[in-house]
Structure 1
Amino acid sequence: MSRLFTFLLLSFWAAALLAQGQSKPVYSLTGYVRQAGTNAPVSGATIFVQSNRVGTTSGKDGYFILPLEAGTYPVRISHVGFVAQTLTITLDKLTMLTIELADDTKYLEEVVVQTEAPDKNVRKVELGVTQLSIKNIKRIPAFMGEVDVVRSLLLLPGVTTVGEGATGINVRGGSVDQNLVLLDDAPLFNTSHLLGFFSVFNPDIVRDLTLHRGGIAPAFGGRASAVLDIKVKEPETERWSAYGGIGLVSSRAGFEGPIVKKKLTVLAATRLSFNDFLFSLGPDNLKGTRANFYDITTKLKWQPSEKHTLTSTGYFCRDIFKLPGDSLSGQEINASSTQFDYRSIAGTVRWNFFINSRINLNTTAVWSQYRTETSTADSANQFSLVAEVLHKQIKSDLSVTINDRHSAQAGVSAIDYYIQPNRLTPGPFSNVLPFALPTERAYELAAYVQDEWKISEATSVVGGLRYSMLLNAGPAQVRTYGSELPRLPGTALSTTTADAGSIYHTNGGLEPRLAVRMTVGEGRSIKAGYNRMRQYIQLISNTTAALPSSRWVLSNANIKPQIADQWSVGYFMNGKQNEYEASAEVYYKTLTNAIDYRDGANLQRNATPETDVLQGKGHAYGLELLAKKNKGAWTGWVSYTYARTLLTIDSRFADERVNNGQAYPANFDKPHTLNATTTYRPSLRFSLSLNFTYSTGRPITQPYARARLNNTIVPIYVNRNQERIPDYHRLDFSMLFEQDPAKKRKVQQSWNFSIYNVYAHKNAYSVFYRFDPRQDSDAFKLSIFGTAFPSLTYNVRF
């Protein structure tokens, strides 16, 4: 409100001067700077008025504002890596522009086209925030030629995974469910195709992605570790275009263009795979396997006026995975063939209201559903096991530019959660008994404020405060446990029934966020930050890699929300006109109500999951180093991370302790990780890329001894996660052949040849034990990709 009052006061003052004939009226030149062809916002572009030597730069969304007196001005818009434009602007009212800058392909050093200012890593206040453009991601060697948006993050410091083919990523000591993954503001609860081999994001529609692993703005909440914000590119506004590609695993197709030029535009793209024929060529035990997926992404943008923009994004994906023969022993069901079917549906509608030159309002409605189905067609054991998560949200964010030193944001959010944990339906002639776990319902409410304060040229501060609350709603069975007995089925002191729609439990608290940047010299800065995150929805799984069918649960009176507090400090520097950059960050994180499980926990069919879930404390700490070269024929980066994640689960009851109450490493604890990636581009038509990765093996629990009981060998386990699988290392290679981008063609084509795991190292995914009297060792190593995988992909754009 203070910002609105200031704006009205300035308007009144300008009108008064005009009436007295003492000065020309003051207007504002405003607009957006975008990249031609992709409509990606260009951050850090210079908007300079040549006649009176004043100017400004565009923000992270490409937006700029420049107050000027009425008149005609020559305005130059420029940015490194783009062709500069000079426009003649007549300013006689509030003027809103959309400026598109074309890529400058004259110089090899501009192979990396940046949509940020080249020294933004030094100047920006936040730390632990990394943005990758889709152009850079497409040059990284990929498994089976599939450009993988999520897997590219594994080359960044502080990002790991439990192994090849595992779902999700682990960021700074967090589990996979502690990452909030957003596609145009819609949360996705599963980010993998084919049980973890590929990500669900079509590279043709991704504009860029930003990973927040340290400095997390108060606008984000609901997860305890990181935020992965993926933006779908803006549809083409001038002409229609089509594109696609053919690969070994999947093929892609898409189109975009204006329905009403510069008013109504549309984008639609799909990706689908047909891999069954690959298994038919394999050995007999693989014939009959099905492993297919497809995804569809759409975006519709309507701009009826300069002040109003409506954008709608839709997303749908589905996976089907079927084994030729197996046994669902975990479900106590014998079946000869099991099929896994899981799908995600998400949609957003966003209204951007440009109130005036300094105030902007965004209101978004979100709908996201994740559904899994496990089934078998055997007549005697036919069944369908279905689980579902439904997320409905409305949120509104207000941005206000107060003056040159202050810019503020505020917002509110309301989420409606619905979870169907598991519902089993038998077939018409099946011997399987039906069951259904009780549904869960809750509302998550949040509000936040943030102010970015430029104290001086050398010092800036971003401070914010978020308040969030979870309200559990009925119908529900509410169990109360005492402190004299361990929490087990049947030990609840009382059970009450909450009526439908009633609120039976609430939990909430404040989440402060703070980041400080201090410039200590030309191209150098020191940053420090703190943030608290609260997580009210958890993915519970007692397997190392969470399967798509793993169970989601809401926090309640018996499962407390996870609360993470993270402190971090970093040193950042650029050199040789931003050709080189380097950074070092140190972080320390504590986790309250960290989650682990009892030995032998059965989570999927458990009507009382709190009896198998154990909660305690966790702490993670680490050092992240990054060195990067941005210009020249050779570009790339090297990163090293030292990180530890330790959990402590203690209790007065022995069967509720893990490792006898002593600290132990989490499943994804990897102390050392080294990544190196480089791209050599001697010409505009050819580039060669290499990346190498090394990491410490993850922890495992090994038997310390074995005993014979009634002629049966029984392993004896003592402490959890005290041994490790062998260390991991891999080299990848790719070559990209393109047409000369300087030559305009109606059809643009490219070929990508890659080799994943060049020297065919058999990296261990896990080590398991099986007694075999014919061998000296009982240990066996399982490798997912134990050989080199070549691939060839063809891409075309019309």
Structure 2
Amino acid sequence: MEKRIKKIAIFFSLLFFITNCVFAQDTDGSRTLSQIITTLQEVYNVQFNYAEDVIEGVSLKSPTKNLSLEEVLTYLENNTTLSFTLMGDRFVLIKPTTDIILCGYLKRKDNLEVLSSATVQTSDSFTTSDKNGFFQIKVKNPLQLITIRYLGYKTIMKPYNQFEVSGCKDVYLQSNFQLLSQVIISNYITSGINKIDNGSFQIDFSNLEILPGLIDHDVLQSVQAFPGIQSVNETVSNINIRGGTHDQNLILWDDIKMYQSGHFFGLISMYNPHITQKVSLRKSGSDVSYTDGVSGTIEMQTNHEVNRTFKGVIGVNLTDANSFADIPVNESSSIQVAARKSISDFFETPTYTAFFDRISQNTEVASNATTITNTDKTFDFYDTSLRWIYNISDKDKLRVNFINVHNQLRFNENAIINQEEESRDSKLTQNSIAGALHYNRVWNDKLKTDFEVYETDYKLRAVNANILDSQRFLQENIVSETSTKLKVNYKLSNRLELLNGYHFVETEVTNLDDVDNPLFRFLVSEVVRTHGVFSQVGYKALNNKTNLNLGLRYNYISKFNKSIWEPRLSFSHQFFKHFALEILGEYKHQNTSQVINFQNDFLGIEKRRWQLSNDKEIPVITSKQISMGLNYNYSGWLVDIDGFYKIVDGITTQSQGFQNQYEFVKSHGRYDVKGVDVLFRKYIEKFSTWLSYSYMNNRYLFKDLETNYFPSNYNISHTATLGMTYALNNLKFSAGLNWHSGKPTTQPVFENQIIDKQVNYETTNASNLDDYLRLDISAIYNFKLSDKTRAHLGVSIWNVLDKENEINNFYRVKDETIMETVQKSLGLTPNAVFRVYF
């Protein structure tokens, strides 16, 4: 009996202790709602049912003691934005209240001035602040994202539960000190693709739905969705912007110039899509702070804001495994890391096989001399990226970027020599490594400075083993570039801004050819340094319908004692409510270009090498271009027409990839191209369909070769794309039909094909390959794995019809007979992806 009494006494003592722990107020003032619920379930023998994201981040003081369950639930409702409903005797349902209201007063942080007419919005609500800066808006749940925008100030984007919600508190906005670019056409092709008032196009991967044939946000494949952008051989290492060559594109990753574009030697982008948030494409009208890229600019950006919650992604597709993490360091700093690695080390997929066959087609890797067999062919790639942001203070911000990319192809050449089997290893590697530091400071409400410095290095190296001649042929192409830039933004008024700056670039290019039998070594290393000074005025009208950027850049190349003046213009004006006029123009130059010395260089896989201008037989490339466009946008309908004219001077025959009578001729000249880009688009909620068409007349003039103009190797006269995307709940589907006229080619003269054991060619580029046609489809399904984890599963098929498109051909004489070699595009190529977000 005494033992039973002791047990009962111990039980009530414990119960008394637990009850006091539940209802006693914490010394630090509050506990998380999750902690309170855990204790209440034990005390009142009830079960609370809720979604994790509903109570996440909610904290309050514990209820006082001696309250009934009903009184406790009333207390919780009065001190949170949640409802607590007793279902029967043992279950309590927690859900957001129907009306969660966020209110506050918007003010400038520096002088507490009231900000009226600022926009405040959620995904389904919208309001503006009144003359006192006051606003209020309905919110669905505590985690719903709220966006506050005001022209000339930094945008606030954060969930409801990160605001001061007890009463209507002051909300402070910081000056941005820069005229903000404004979206003038949203959903230009589909959701997430917009046209900006400075003449550029922007892809926001956080909002991008899906594109035909793509299940990953491949950066350089995605930009080819725009009219006037294509690749004559389907690779991202040969993107042609309005008829230009790939080396005439300025490719920037977080303001670092990149000299390499892709993995699989051009079949997929080397830029990790998870860390790359936005891509801007400029066909003309570049900002004066940019140099290089006489044909166009592709600018990639990571997220430049500090993240305060951890985010992660892991995934695998039929070419690689990948991961991404966005890690908060503290309230003022966060770091992003991303990595990809090919999966060919573990197993070979149909996609890998199709890609490998495509890159090795008509090269020494695929076939060698009849007495030689190639074995143990392997390909591997990886990339790593890093971005670190540190907000030193409200006025100072630091950003650090790093990227490392690697591609490697290996195979063995085997032959029977002196009745013994011998084997030698051939290898091709391609690497890029780059790093940058960016520092910007806001000095006052009118002045802001940006300082950036980067180092980018590219290396292409091939070891070609000639087993029959016991010879090793080593080739290297190395680019090392250092850049320093200072930009000063001065705000003359709320509508007028002045940009001034200085830019220094040092570029070194090294080329090596080394043979061991017989001994031969040819090494050339050159350096060019360029100083640039620029100034630009930006104007935005009060009604935001007129935007003007007018600037001038002065470049001095010290090695050549050469001065180059480059005016830049971008102008847009909206009129008659639904119409907009756009005029873009620019002068540009560049000191580097890619050339082909021999078609079998670097094993024939990546035969283009970078070289520097010497201002003589390799001139500094200069360009002039202007475009004028008109668009109509109303009720989901968009019609956009853009005419252009471009002249590029200083190109060389070696940079144009001739494979006819001019293949080994060294000369320099120019090309000009004129044409029109047209887009028709209809957007209805979750459905978007578009038809784009481009026409251009692209022609060369090499006075040392021919007195008259002749068609460019990149003169794709007609290009058309029909595409559609559709989203149904969690399922997204896309399909696209791509067609263009055939690439120009030079054929032998009929019935007189050979003269003096050489091909007797007809008029240069007078013929064309067959028309190109490709149908692509893709689908992605999103679903939840848990309350905090979601996933998506995607499949795609490139070239559904398995059409054998000709992308190139050339002729050679063998045994007094003409031999034609035809290069084919990718055939039917499937891909699949599984990815988890947490």
TM-score interval for Structure 1 and Structure 2 normalised by the shorter chain: 0.7 to 0.9
Q: Which residue of structure 2 aligns with residue 130 of structure 1?
A: 201
CA distance, structure 1, for counterparts of residue 582 and residue 642 of structure 2: 9
Q: Flag the 1:259–1:203 CA change in 2: closer, same or farther, 3 A.
A: same
8 Å contact 1:259–1:265 — kept in the other structure? yes
Q: Helix, strand or coil: the match of 1:154?
A: helix
Whether the 8 Å CA contact 1:110–1:631 is kept in 2: the answer is no
**Structure 2 Cα separation of the partners of residues 569 and 537 of structure 1:** 29
Q: Which residues in structure 2 correspond to 1:330-409 (within 5 Å)? A: 338-376=426-464, 380-409=470-499
Q: How far has the Cα of 1:362 moved from its partner?
A: 0.9
Please tell me whether the aligned partners of residues 318 and 349 of structure 2 are also in contact (alpha carbons under 8 angstroms).
no
Q: How far apart, in 2, do the equivalents of 1:781 and 1:601 lie?
A: 15
What's the counterpart of residue 561 of structure 1? 620
Q: Does 1:530 align with 2:598?
A: no
What amino acid does structure 1 have at the position aligned with 2:737? F
What is the TM-score normalised by the length of structure 2? 0.72
How do residues 567-646 of structure 1 correspond to structure 2 at under 5 angstroms? 567-576=626-635, 579-597=636-654, 613-646=666-699
Name the counterpart of 2:170. 90
CA distance in 2, matches of 1:62, 1:648: 54
Q: What residue number does 1:730 align with?
A: 774
Q: Which residue among 552, 562, 566 is the counterpart of 1:511? A: 566
Q: Does 1:762 align with 2:804?
A: yes
> Relative to 1, partners in 2 of residues 1:115 and 1:63: Cα closer, same or farther, differing over 3 Å?
farther
Go from structure 1 to structure 2 and tell me whether the alpha carbon gap of 1:634 and 1:600 turns closer, same or farther (over 3 Å shift).
Answer: closer
Output the CA distance in 2 between the equivalents of 1:749 and 1:613. 54
TM-score, with structure 1 as normaliser: 0.75
Using the alignment, how far apart are the partners of 1:25 and 1:669 within structure 2? 58
Q: Is the 8 A contact 2:121 2:127 kept in 1?
A: no
- Do 1:190 and 1:548's aligned partners in 2 also have CA atoms closer than 8 Å? no
In structure 2, the CA distance between the partners of 1:668 and 1:137, relative to structure 1 (3 Å rule), is: farther
Q: What's the offset of the Cα at 1:238?
A: 1.9
Equivalent in 419, 422, 428 of residue 509 of structure 2: 419
* CA spacing shift, 1:112–1:598, aligned 2, 3 Å: closer
SS of residue in 2 equivalent to 1:439: strand
State the Cα deviation string for residues 583-612 of structure 1 (Å, max 9, x = none).
11000112222322499999xxxxxxxx95
Deviation of 1:216 after TM superposition, in Å, equals 1.3
Q: Is the 8 A contact 1:601 1:612 kept in 2?
A: no
Q: Supply the distance in 2 between the matched residues of 1:593 and 1:311 (Cα, whole angstroms).
A: 37
CA contact (8 A) 1:272 1:295 kept: yes
Deviation at 1:518, TM superposition (A): 3.1
Q: Distance in 2 between matches of 1:440 and 1:47?
A: 59
Residue 530 of structure 2 is matched in structure 1 by 444
- Separation (CA, whole Å) in 1 of partners of 2:253 and 2:163: 32
Counterpart AA for 2:764: R
Using a 3 Å threshold, how does the CA distance of structure 1 residues 273 and 310 change in structure 2: closer, same or farther? same
Residue from 41, 52, 62 that aligns with 2:132: 52
Q: Which of 658, 664, 669 is equivalent to 2:710?
A: 664
Given candidates 771, 783, 791, the residue that maps to 1:749 is: 791
* Partner SS, residue 265 of structure 2: helix
Q: Partners in 2 of 1:115 and 1:728 — Cα distance?
A: 26
Report SS of the residue matched to 2:681: strand
CA contact (8 A) 1:162 1:544 kept: no
Q: Alpha-carbon deviations, 1:279-307, whole Å to 9, x = none? A: 99989977521221110001111112111
Q: Structure 2 vs 1, CA of residues 412 and 110 (structure 1 numbering), >3 Å: closer, same or farther? A: closer
Question: Once superposed, what is the RMSD of the aligned Cα atoms?
Answer: 4.3
- 1:463 pairs, out of 535, 550, 559, with 550
Distance in 1 (CA, whole Å) between partners of 2:787 and 2:389 is 27
Matched, 1:232 2:302: yes
Which of residues 330, 337, 347 in structure 2 aligns to 1:268? Answer: 337
CA distance in 2, matches of 1:316, 1:215: 31
Opposite residue 832 of structure 2, the aligned amino acid is: L
Out of 589-598 and 562-571, give the one that drifted further.
Answer: 589-598
- Cα distance in 1 for partners of 2:741, 2:708 equals 22
**Pairwise mapping of residues 107-506 of structure 1 onto structure 2 (< 5 A)?**
114=192, 121=196, 124=197, 126-127=198-199, 129-135=200-206, 139-142=210-213, 147-165=217-235, 167-234=237-304, 237-260=307-330, 262-275=331-344, 277-278=347-348, 287-325=375-413, 338-376=426-464, 380-424=470-514, 430-454=516-540, 457=543, 459-472=546-559, 505-506=560-561
Distance 1:734 1:620 in 2: 34
Report SS of the residue matched to 1:689.
strand
Of stretches 392-401 and 517-526 in structure 1, the one that deviates more from structure 2 is 517-526
Contact persistence 2:192–2:207 (CA under 8 A): no
Q: Displacement, 1:322?
A: 2.9
1:698 maps to 2:738: no
Residue 106 of structure 1: aligned partner = none
Give 1:615 deviation, angstroms.
1.7
SS, match of residue 309 in structure 2: coil
Q: Is the 8 A contact 1:165 1:784 kept in 2?
A: no
Question: What is the DSSP-based 3-state SS (H/G/I as helix, E as strand, rest coil) of the residue aligned with 2:237?
Answer: coil
Aligned twin of 1:539 = 594
Deviation string, structure 1 residues 298-321 (Cα, Å, up to 9, x no partner) = 111111211111110100001012
Contact between 1:34 and 1:62, CA under 8 Å: does it hold in 2? yes
1: distance between equivalents of 2:302 and 2:710? 40
**AA matched with 1:700:** T
Q: Distance in 2 between matches of 1:767 and 1:191?
A: 24
- Provide the secondary structure at the position in 2 that maps to 1:196: coil
CA–CA distance in 2 between the matches of 1:645 and 1:255? 45
Helix, strand or coil: the match of 1:152? helix
Find the aligned partners of 2:790 and 2:344 in 1 and give their Cα distance: 27
| % identical equivalent positions | 20
Partners in 2 of 1:228 and 1:542 — Cα distance? 27
Is the CA contact 1:348–1:366 (under 8 Å) kept in the aligned structure 2? yes
Rounded to whole Å, the distance in 2 between the matches of 1:287 and 1:82 is 61
**Aligned-partner Cα distance in 2 for 1:137–1:322:** 37
Greater relative contact order structure (CA < 8 Å, 6+ sep): 1
CA–CA distance in 2 between the matches of 1:396 and 1:771?
Answer: 56
Q: CA deviation at 1:681?
A: 0.8
Q: How far 1:453 moved relative to its partner?
A: 2.3
CA contact (8 A) 1:268 1:299 kept: yes
Contact 1:279 1:288 in 2 (8 A): no
Distance in 2 of aligned mates of 1:279 and 1:627: 38
Tell whether the 8 Å contact from 1:156 to 1:675 is kept in structure 2 after alignment.
Answer: no
Distance 2:260 2:155 in 1: 45
Equivalent residues of 1:235, 1:299 under 8 A apart = no
Deviation at 1:326, TM superposition (A): 10
Question: Would the alpha carbon gap of residues 246 and 567 (structure 1) be closer, same or farther in structure 2, given more than 3 Å must change?
Answer: same
CA positional deviation for 1:709: 8.4
Q: Deviations over 1:84-106 (max 9, x none)?
A: 99984537x98579xxxxxxxxx
Post-superposition offset of 1:763: 0.8
**Matching residue of 2:832:** 792
Deviations 1:482-535 (A, max 9, x none): xxxxxxxxxxxxxxxxxxxxxxx2222110012333333102121222211112
Structure 2 unmatched ranges of 5 or more: 1-109, 136-146, 177-186, 358-365, 367-372, 416-421
Contact 1:446–1:468 (CA<8 Å) still a contact in 2? yes
Between stretches 458-467 and 216-225, larger displacement belongs to: 458-467
Cα–Cα, structure 1 residues 560 and 62, in superposed 2: closer, same or farther, change >3 Å? farther
User: CA separation in 1, counterparts of 2:567 and 2:224?
Assistant: 28
